[in-house]
Amino acid sequence: MPGFCWLTHEVDYAAFPASLQVVWVFDTLADKNTALARGLMERMIGLTVEALDDAQVSLSNAAAHVHVDCEEQCLRENGGDWQQRIKRKYARRS
């Protein structure tokens, strides 16, 4: 996937696996939008499910747990602070 950099997650282990949120991070907004326009979200969801299956973790409605973001937006909106961005944007609230 052109422009893909890394992935991370957010989870509240007291509510695992329902609270698990996986974030695929691209370099630029253009890279992120290109991946989405090419229909790669399905591929990212599939790869995430495959990895979780290997770890014997199952999610209902995996698409609700997989997100796409980019370095460019984090830098602009959160000063490059991924921990802050993920807590604010992706953490499930009880």
Ranges assigned E (strand) in 19-74 = 21-26, 66-70
pLDDT at 8 over 90: yes
User: What would the two tokens of residue 77 be?
Assistant: 């909106």
Q: How many CB atoms lie within 10 A of CB 64?
A: 12
71-78 vs 29-37: helix crossing angle, rounded to 10: 130
Mean pLDDT of the chain: 94
What pTM was computed for the model?
0.92
pLDDT at 73 over 90: yes
